[in-house]
Structure 1
Amino acid sequence: MSLLLFIQSAVTEGSEIAAEVAENEINYIDMAIKGGWIMIPLLLLSFVAVYIFFERYFAIKKAATEDLSFMNKIKDYILEGKLDSALSLCEQVDNPVSRMIAKGISRIGRPLQDVNTAIENVGNLEISRLEKGLPTLATVAGGAPMIGFLGTVIGMIKAFFDMASAGSNIDVGVLSSGIYTAMVTTVAGLVVGIIAYFAYNFLVARVEKVVFTLEARTMEFMDLLNEPAA
């Protein structure tokens, strides 16, 4: 009988402790609100970072998609003298590689240096399009922690001001508002900055892979133009 009462007592105490923990559980929305107005630009920067990441990710993924038989078909058309068919194929494929090759085909008959320069110019434009938005993402990665630290300074100033105003009646409640602002904005700024930093480097790595592909296809096309003269 005593064992049963002990178990019931333990269960009751456990329930009370669980209820108390649930009541004291951190509400992240309330905590963010206590971060003050600094949280607004951080929230906007997070939206900007997420938008740029997904928009650039799908754009780069599309640009990286390549038809493995494309260059073989281009080679056959050029060797057969069917330049119009080669240009038509480039228009159908419509990716950075095809646009570069189309520019090269349109320059066939001119010195090879002119052809190579024309292809490189198109390639530079394609790379610029792929990198659109990446400087902004890099700015978010560097700027968000700085804004968070600004919130930290503001929060600490507020805490010391409240401390000075309270005089001898200082308690934790007086300082809590400023400390909340200081700590919450620091964490928020670091979180946004770290995520944006990793997102930026991930996209840069993807762009570099596309650049490598463009360079490889340029060399392949220039070698192709040298074949008839061999």
Structure 2
Amino acid sequence: MSLNAILLQTETVADTLANAAAAATTDVSVTENVSYLEFLMKGGIMIIPIIILLFYCIFVIVERYLSIKKATKQDVLLLHDVKAQLKAGKIDNALMVCNRQNTASGNILRSGIAIIGRPISEIESVMEKTANVEISQMEKGLGHLGLISGIAPILGFIGTISGVIKIFHTISNTGNLNIQTISGGLYEKMISSGAGLVVGVVAYAAYHLYNMWIDSFALKVEKQTLEIINIIHEPQHGN
């Protein structure tokens, strides 16, 4: 192969690379000019319910966080003060200590202290039932997060499948088969799958994190209940 031929091929390859780089730069600039909302709406009709689920998911996450944080607020001196009042035989003062803060721990302890004098099994049963009610209040709405974590990815997948069906239907009608038609339409429809997965992951993570938070609180309450029951049982056991 002559030197001229080699130089000619080299120039051709350089021109091709330059054109490709220019086209890529143009595509990037066009993509940057498109807003995130416009890009998201390219995902099709299924993007709308996914966006609605996202806003509702955020609402539930914030509302549950504030509610659970308030209910699980711990007074570090609550159990110590209650135990001190009970050992001194001052039941009314112990009830006043429980009312000091409107928390789940205080409500559970108050329910048992309020019926001191009845059998220990009954006091323990009442405290356990109160704990179950408080925990149920904390778990209120968490089922919605679990539902969203399952529904959002499915909606995204449905949007992608419907988009692919439309692409191939158009190809079958027009007979125009090229990579731009397929890839361009396909990437737009896969936006719905990506959005659905993001919403699903957020809801799934929040659901399990809140359940772990509540389980940790339930364990602390169980320990506090056991300590109070032991203190209430002491004088009766002595008698």
**Structure 1 unaligned blocks of 5 or more:** 1-12
Shift of 1:199: 1.5
Residue number among 151, 157, 160 corresponding to 2:159 in the alignment: 151
**Any conservation in 1 of the 2:72–2:105 contact (CA below 8 Å)?**
no
Instruction: Verify: 1:216 aligned to 2:223, yes or no.
Output: yes
**Any conservation in 2 of the 1:34–1:180 contact (CA below 8 Å)?**
no
Residue number among 102, 106, 117 corresponding to 2:110 in the alignment: 102
Deviates more, 1:138-147 or 1:68-77: 68-77
Shift of 1:96: 0.7
Residue number among 30, 34, 41 corresponding to 1:24 in the alignment: 30
**Any conservation in 1 of the 2:116–2:123 contact (CA below 8 Å)?**
yes
- For 1:123 and 1:83, the matched residues in 2 are separated by 20
**Any conservation in 2 of the 1:34–1:181 contact (CA below 8 Å)?**
yes
> What is the RMSD computed on CA atoms of the aligned residues?
2.2
Q: In the superposition, relative to structure 1, how do residues 21 and 163 fare at CA in structure 2: closer, same or farther (>3 Å)?
A: closer
AA partner of residue 148 (structure 2): V
Q: Which residue of 2 aligns with 1:4?
A: none
Deviates more, 1:120-129 or 1:60-69: 60-69
**Any conservation in 1 of the 2:42–2:189 contact (CA below 8 Å)?**
no
Residue number among 53, 57, 61 corresponding to 1:53 in the alignment: 61
Q: Secondary structure at the match of 2:100?
A: helix
Q: Which residue of 1 aligns with 2:196?
A: 189
String of CA shifts for 1:88-109, please: whole Å, max 9, x gaps.
2212221111101111011111
Q: How does 1:78-157 map to 2 (within 5 A)?
A: 78-157=86-165
**Any conservation in 2 of the 1:154–1:181 contact (CA below 8 Å)?**
no
Q: Which residue of 2 aligns with 1:201?
A: 208
- For 1:220 and 1:141, the matched residues in 2 are separated by 39
Shift of 1:173: 5.8
- For 1:184 and 1:44, the matched residues in 2 are separated by 16
- For 1:202 and 1:86, the matched residues in 2 are separated by 34
- For 2:82 and 2:37, the matched residues in 1 are separated by 58
Q: Secondary structure at the match of 1:92?
A: coil
Shift of 1:156: 1.0
Shift of 1:155: 0.6
Shift of 1:29: 2.1
- For 1:222 and 1:124, the matched residues in 2 are separated by 17
Q: TM-score, normalised by structure 2?
A: 0.82
Larger radius of gyration: 2
- For 2:77 and 2:201, the matched residues in 1 are separated by 40
- For 1:225 and 1:84, the matched residues in 2 are separated by 14
Q: Which residue of 2 aligns with 1:5?
A: none
Shift of 1:129: 0.6
AA partner of residue 191 (structure 1): V
String of CA shifts for 1:31-77, please: whole Å, max 9, x gaps.
21111110011001111111111221222222232112111211222
